[in-house]
Each structure stands twice: as C-alpha cells, then as structure tokens.
C-alpha cells in the first residue's frame, strides 16, 4: 500500500515514496516549459501548465504521490507584495508595507489564488485514485524571512529586522497564519489529500523565540488540518535536537527530517509520528553505489516503523532524472 493519506492517518508501516521538488527544476520537460515562461509567478498561476508540471514526475517515474506545482511565495504575492524571481539570486519581494498588509481582504486573496485551486482540481481529476495529491504552504516564520527581506548571503538571517518590533511581528505572524489557514482550506476543498508545511528557515530562530515563531504557528495550522481530517506533514528544517520537542508539542501526522538529523536518533526520539525523508539530495549527484548505500541506511533504520521515503531537502537543479529513476527502483526492490 502506498497511499500517503492512509499511511499518515493510520501510522501504517507500509511505505511510499515521493520527493520534495520532484515537480520542476531538474526535469527536461519542465525546463522546456520554463524557458517559454520567464515569469515564474505567472507560470504557477497558469493552471493548465501547473497541472501538466505536477503530473510530469508521475508519468516519468510512476511515483506514489503528486505535489502541486506552486510556490510558498504565492501567499505573500496574494497578500499584495509583488515577487520577482531573479536568476541565480533567488526571490526578491517588494518592500513590505505593514498597514497595507493588515488591510488585506479575504475575497481578493481567494481570487488571486484561484488558479492554484483550479490546478489542484484538474490534477485530482487526472491523478490515479490511489495516489495522494499533496498541497503545501510555507510556515509563517519562513514567509516572514522573505517578506521582511531578512535573508543575508551565506545562509544567514538578519535578526535586526525584527528586534524591538515584537508586537508588530506577532501581529504579522497571526495575520499570516489566518490567511495560510484560508489557503489550506481552499486547497483541501479543491481536492488536496495531504498538506505539507515547509518551515525552511526554522533552524535560524533564536532559542528564546522558538516557541513563539516556530512551535505555536505550526501547532495552530496542524490543529486546523486535524479539524478537517486531513493529514499534515511538518518540515521544520535545521532545528536539530529540537525536533523532539517539536514532535511532542505539535503532533503532526508526519515529520520530515532534514539531512543533518541522524536517522537512528530520529527513530529513538521521534515517537508516534510517520517519519519522512532525511536523505541528503546531494547523494543523487554521487556515484550510484554511494547513493544506494546512503539510501539503505534510512531504509534499514526505518524498516519496521512507519516511514515515507523522501529527501532531507529538495532535489537539486543539476540532478540527473535517471538517478531519480534508479533510486526509486532501488527503494521499491528493498520493500
Ligand atoms: O527558476 C526556476 O525554474 C524556479 C525554481 C522553483 C521551483 C520549481 C522555485 C523558485 N520554486 C519552485 C516550485 C516549488 N517551491 C515547489 C513545487 C513542488 C515540488 O516540490 O516539486 C515547492 C514545494 C516549493 C517550496 C518552496 N519555495 C520552499 C520550501 C522548500 C525549500 O526549498 O526550502 C521555499 C523556501 C521556496 C522559495 C523559493 N522558490 C524558488 C526559489 C529559488 C526559492 C528560494 C529558495 C531560497 O531562498 O533558498
């Protein structure tokens, strides 16, 4: 059995495989579409093309789940902050306007994101019933990092941008959480079966702010998904040993570990949750034997516990699709 929704709800030992960033980035059939569509946000908002891109890895690898082709930054876009993807330097957002942000209207937000919901509906119609369709959001803290332009070079965060503004920051996070919940509800209503929350910059939160900026917003969103009876996978990347507390408090159905988390430690410390991922995406750039050896470590460790085979971060743009295919085959032969 490979249906992700079932596995997450029943904490089933039976396994499945999908990869973060499986849609887009490294597939030639994606690059072809991307070349003809320079505006990345508009590409995400083209429901016909985003449906096609979502289904590309399913067609190629018959992988177990689909993740909708979209981006976490569509939410700031829909909240009135324009987003520009600059080649090689990453996304650049328009300067944040606090009062404009607080005056956002739900109807306009829904209208701007309607193409995402149309794509989910179209994909669900075309996707085999036994495959889950995963929709996602960026966690409030991770979106804040982009919205306030806190990202510095070399994977660093500029904490000065939020110092002395605690009340404002809390209000922004609360308001963002409210809109993220609307976005999740719309995605569920359109046919998404599973939700994943990407907190890609959680590892940069100071210890004293961890509850407020990571645990609490994730918990609110997980509780909402539970109220809708939809399984949710959290990915608070880079938080190290704090994964244990996160799991005990947030209690999501699934928890994606990053490549810095030792799988043995995860198995011993992360209880009553379906663990997902962990494998370093860089191993797909290594010789096949090394890739299989590294994958085997995860498969052996989680042999008798509920585990979804995936990565410790997204597939890299330079990944050879043949390697992805071999890795899926290796995984299936080891079940
Ligand atoms: O230039 C291109 O061709 C676009 C590359 C690309 C793609 C294919 C971006 C730009 N986003 C996406 C799609 C995307 N983004 C998906 C699609 C579904 C899938 O997984 O296949 C998903 C789930 C995301 C999520 C996302 N976007 C995250 C969280 C995961 C992570 O990587 O940590 C983040 C942080 C973003 C922001 C983003 N989108 C794109 C870029 C270059 C970035 C910035 C990354 C950074 O700041 O390091």
Over the stretch 91-119, which tens digit does the pLDDT of each residue have? 999 999 999 999 999 999 999 999 999 99
CA distance 176 to 252: 20
What is the predicted pLDDT for the residue at 90? 81
For 277-287, how does the pLDDT look when each residue is reduced to its tens digit (9 = 90+)?
999 999 999 99
Residue whose CB lies within 8 A of the most ligand 1 atoms, among 18, 19, 20, 21, for a mutation test: 21
| Percent of the chain scoring above 70 in pLDDT | 99
> Cα(111)–Cα(203) distance, rounded to whole angstroms?
33
Instruction: Give yes or no for residue 22 CB within 6 A of ligand 1.
Output: yes
Q: What does the pLDDT read at residue 167?
A: 87
- State the burial class of residue 317 (Cβ atoms within 10 Å of its Cβ: 0-12, 13-18, 19+): exposed
Which residue's CA is minimally distant from atom 34 of ligand 1? 72
Non-local CB neighbours of 261 within 8 Å, separated by 6+ positions: 240, 243, 278, 312
CA 90 to chain centre: 17
Q: What is the DSSP letter of 36?
A: T
Output the CA 268–ligand 1 centroid distance in Å: 31
DSSP for 294-319 reads HHHHHHHHTTTS-EEE-BSSPPPTT-
CA distances from 323 to 2, 40, 299, 316 (A): 21, 26, 17, 12
136 lines ligand 1 (CB under 6 A): yes
Is ligand 1 within 6 A of the CB of residue 93?
A: no
Nearest CA to ligand 1 atom 5: 25
pLDDT tens for the chain, 335 residues long, are 679 999 999 988 878 999 999 998 899 999 999 999 999 999 999 999 999 999 999 999 999 999 999 999 999 999 999 999 887 778 999 999 999 999 999 999 999 999 999 999 999 999 999 999 999 999 999 999 999 999 877 678 888 888 768 889 999 999 999 999 999 999 999 999 999 999 999 999 999 999 999 999 999 999 999 999 999 999 999 999 999 999 999 999 999 999 999 999 999 999 999 999 999 999 999 999 999 999 999 999 999 999 999 999 999 999 999 999 999 999 999 98
Overall residue count recorded for the chain in this entry: 335
pLDDT at 1: 61
Q: Is 233 in the pocket of ligand 1 (CB under 6 A)?
A: no
Ligand 1, closest atom to CA 317? 5
- Which domains, from first to last, does the chain contain? 4-334 (3.20.20.210)
Closest CA to 325 of 59, 131, 128: 59
27 CA distance to ligand 1 middle (Å) = 14
Q: CA 240, CA 269: separation in Å to the nearest integer?
A: 12
| Strand residue runs (E) in the chain | 16-17, 65-67, 83-86, 90-93, 132-138, 151-152, 156-157, 194-199, 232-236, 254-257, 274-277, 307-309
Which of 17, 18, 23, 24 is the best mutation target for the ligand 1 pocket, counting ligand atoms within 8 Å of the beta carbon and taking the most?
A: 24
In degrees and rounded to multiples of 5, residue 17 shows phi and psi of -135, 135
Half-sphere exposure of residue 120, counting CA atoms within 13 Å on the CB side?
25
Cα–Cα dist 314/310, whole Å: 9
Task: Give how far the C-alpha of residue 134 lies from the chain's centroid of Cα atoms, to the nearest Å.
Answer: 9
Which structure tokens are listed for 317? 């743009």
Q: Is the CB of 69 under 6 A from ligand 1?
A: yes
Which residues have CB under 8 Å from 145's CB, separation 6+?
151, 157, 201, 204
Find tokens 């309607």 and name the residue. Answer: 114
Which residue's CA is the closest to the ligand 1 atom numbered 44?
Answer: 90
Q: In b/e form, how buried is each residue of 101-125, taking b as 16+ CB within 10 angstroms?
A: beeeeeeebeebbebbbbbbbbbbe
State the Cα–Cα distance between residues 231 and 251, nearest whole angstrom.
11
Ligand 1 center from residue 88 Cα (angstroms): 13
**In the chain, % of residues over pLDDT 90:** 90
pLDDT at 307: 96
CB atoms within 10 A of CB 241: 10
335 CA distance to ligand 1 centroid (A)? 30
Tell me, using a 6 A CB cutoff, whether residue 71 lines ligand 1.
Answer: yes
Query: Model-level pTM?
Result: 0.96
Ligand 1 atom nearest 31 alpha carbon: 3
> Does ligand 1 come within 6 angstroms of the Cβ of 85?
yes
The pLDDT value given to residue 306: 95
Residue 290: predicted pLDDT: 98
Rg for the chain (alpha carbons), in Å? 19
198 lines ligand 1 (CB under 6 A): yes
């Amino acid at each position: 059995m490979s249906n992700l929704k079932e596995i997450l709800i029943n904490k089933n030992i039976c396994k499945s495989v999908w990869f973060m960033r499986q849609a887009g980035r490294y597939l030639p059939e994606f690059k072809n579409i991307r070349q003809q569509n320079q505006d990345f946000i508009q590409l995400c908002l083209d429901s016909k093309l985003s449906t096609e891109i979502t289904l590309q890895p399913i067609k190629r690898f018959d992988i177990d789940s689909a993740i909708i082709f979209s981006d976490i930054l569509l939410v700031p876009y829909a909240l009135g902050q324009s987003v520009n993807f600059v080649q090689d330097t990453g996304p650049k957002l328009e300067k944040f306007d606090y009062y404009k942000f607080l005056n956002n209207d739900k109807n306009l937000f829904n209208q701007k994101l309607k193409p995402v919901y149309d794509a989910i509906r179209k994909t669900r119609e075309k996707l085999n019933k036994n495959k889950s369709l995963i929709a996602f959001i960026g966690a409030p803290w991770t979106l804040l990092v982009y919205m306030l332009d806190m990202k510095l070079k070399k994977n660093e965060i500029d904490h000065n941008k939020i110092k002395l503004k605690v009340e404002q920051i809390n209000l922004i996070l609360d308001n963002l959480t409210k809109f993220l919940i609307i976005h999740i509800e719309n995605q569920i209503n359109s046919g998404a079966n599973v939700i994943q929350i990407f907190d890609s910059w959680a590892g940069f939160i100071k210890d004293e702010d961890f509850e407020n900026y990571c645990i609490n917003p994730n918990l609110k969103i997980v509780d909402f998904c539970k109220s809708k009876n939809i399984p949710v996978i959290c990915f608070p990347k880079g938080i190290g040993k704090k994964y244990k507390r996160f799991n005990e408090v947030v209690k999501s159905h699934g928890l994606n570990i990053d490549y810095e988390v030792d799988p043995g430690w995860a198995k011993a410390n992360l209880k009553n949750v379906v663990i997902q991922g962990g494998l370093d995406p860089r191993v797909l750039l290594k010789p096949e034997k090394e890739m299989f050896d590294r994958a085997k470590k995860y498969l052996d460790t989680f042999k008798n516990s509920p585990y979804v085979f995936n990565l410790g971060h997204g597939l890299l743009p330079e990944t050879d699709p043949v390697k992805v295919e071999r890795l899926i085959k290796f995984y299936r032969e080891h079940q």
